[in-house]
Amino acid sequence: MHGWSRLTLAPLLKRRVFSSTQQDETRTLVSEALKEHRLTWKGGRVDAELNRARFGSLTVCTLRYGAEVHIEPDRLQDFMLVQVPLRGRACIECGGDRVDADPDCAAVIAPNRPLRLHWEAGCEQLLLKIPRGKIEAIGQRAFGETAAGPLDFSPALRLDTPVGAAWCSMMASLIHLLPTLDDGAPRPPAAWLEHLEDTLVLHLLYNQPNSWRSRAGLAPTVPRRLAQAESYMREHLSAPLTLIDIARHAGASASALTRLFQEHRDTTPMNALRALRLDTARQKLKAGAGASVTEVALGVGFGHLGRFSEYYRERFGELPRETRRVAG
């Protein structure tokens, strides 16, 4: 398991709720343990297992189905969920966002988001369930009245970054401490355990982009190389830029720049460039300055008009010529 050894997970893996090779039994038992859901089996051998432990108000689990599955739960409402693939991959559609989760990228699922999940065969995940009341209590201490409004998260949580690795380390620490919660075991001070629990949640509230943090005015600091890359893109929208070009002018390797965009912008450098080009094209078309759609497309670096129109409609829900026609 990438980043999570059997030794690290051992205290949790000893707390088995069930294992099963039966479809109906698996769906029923997972629903009872986590949340009612619709489960569609897509193929492969059922080899399901759920392990679960509680740490204060938090619930931590490992879950696998063995087979490929499609999962449709109702909105979470009463809790927030963090899904961390231990092995394999999953596609998580969270409202209008999609996370292609793997051992390097987890998903943070806020309450009240529509949710659909597709786990590939062999996918196994670590799940952290945080009660809504816990999040709200910590949020009010951290952000004051700002936390009275709805909470929404940017769902993709990169784990191959210093911030993501720190969160994994805290999760591993909690799992290591599970034996101290057993009856008869020497127990750490309750206030210290609660502090660890709160710190794990605070880490997400302060470091993972979310609506409370934004309303509190705590905008994340943009790394210098990321800012340089974005500035270079804006200044050279019409040029045939490559990832290597952008990385070189930002003073970073292509892989390092990609990690920066994934961590801070939840996208890739080239997708960010395309979004900048499309946004600029829309501004020009809405300005109604007389330029044709073709001239606008070429002016922001699109040499293929059909592809420009396709990307434009995908981003804005209408064709470029429709935007221009409304602008007059």
CA distances from residue 27 to 41, 119, 193 in whole angstroms, order as listed: 10, 14, 33
pLDDT tens, per residue, the chain with 328 residues: 446 888 899 999 999 999 999 999 999 999 998 888 999 999 889 999 999 999 999 999 999 999 999 999 888 888 999 999 999 999 999 877 888 999 989 999 988 888 899 999 999 999 999 999 999 999 998 888 878 788 888 899 988 888 888 999 999 999 999 999 887 778 888 888 889 999 999 999 988 888 888 888 765 667 888 889 998 998 899 999 999 999 999 999 999 999 988 887 878 999 999 999 998 888 888 876 677 889 889 999 998 889 999 999 888 888 988 887 776 6
Residue 64 carries which side chain, given as an amino acid letter? R
Domains and their CATH numbers in the chain: 6-215 (2.60.120.10), 224-327 (1.10.10.60)
Residue 169 carries which side chain, given as an amino acid letter? S
Backbone angles phi, psi at 162, to 5 degrees: -55, -40
Instruction: Give the pLDDT confidence score for residue 316 in this predicted structure.
Output: 85
Instruction: Give the pLDDT confidence score for residue 75 in this predicted structure.
Output: 82
Instruction: Give the pLDDT confidence score for residue 94 in this predicted structure.
Output: 85
Residue 11 carries which side chain, given as an amino acid letter? P
How far is it, in rounded angstroms, from Cα 296 to Cα 167? 44
CA distances from residue 245 to 21, 172, 197, 239 in whole angstroms, order as listed: 52, 39, 44, 10
Instruction: Give the pLDDT confidence score for residue 1 in this predicted structure.
Output: 42
Instruction: Give the pLDDT confidence score for residue 43 in this predicted structure.
Output: 86
Rg (CA), the chain: 23
Identify the three-state secondary structure at position 8: helix
Handedness of CA 231, 236, 242, 245 (dihedral sign): negative
How far is it, in rounded angstroms, from Cα 263 to Cα 36? 32
Question: Do residues 15 and 51 touch, judged by C-beta distance below 8 A?
Answer: yes
